[in-house]
Amino acid sequence: MLGAEDPKTGLFKDSSGNPTNQRGYLIDPKTGDIINNHNNQKMFDKKDLDERGEVPAPFNLEKHNFNPHAVRGEFDFDRNGKAVVVKNKDGSFSDKRGSKVSSRGYRLGSDGSVVDNNGRKKFDKAHMT
């Protein structure tokens, strides 16, 4: 669903009144960054969006059949609700089960591809590691 534009302010909001961009993605009203609706963590920088406010590929291609929570590692959270991603001695990152993840917490396969909870490749080697 696209964000609904408020005729008075020209800003976009979802059905709950939360700020969105023109494509309907929940945004941080101060920065314009796309944020997660569960924990308000930044998912995409505003500068990474295209001129229409769409998220970058491959995320925009998979958005109807893609669950971002299925590719996240298992984490404990700090008191601010932010996932604790452990940096290992060798500089790699892991979740609390010891699975290899990116610095942002996405589960990685042995070749560096983003994989889901079942080890199925979802995206080729990520540039976001």
DSSP string covering 96-123: TT--EE-TT-BBB-TTS-EE-TTS-EEE
Convert the pLDDT of each residue in 5-25 to its tens digit. Answer: 777 888 898 888 899 998 889
Band of residue 116 on the pLDDT scale cut at 50, 70, 90: confident
Place of tokens 């699975």: 99
Q: Is the pLDDT of residue 85 over 60?
A: yes
Convert the pLDDT of each residue in 88-112 to its tens digit. Answer: 999 999 999 999 999 889 999 988 8
Q: What is the pTM of this model?
A: 0.49
Q: Would you kindly state where each structural domain of the chain is located, as residue ranges? A: 1-64, 67-129
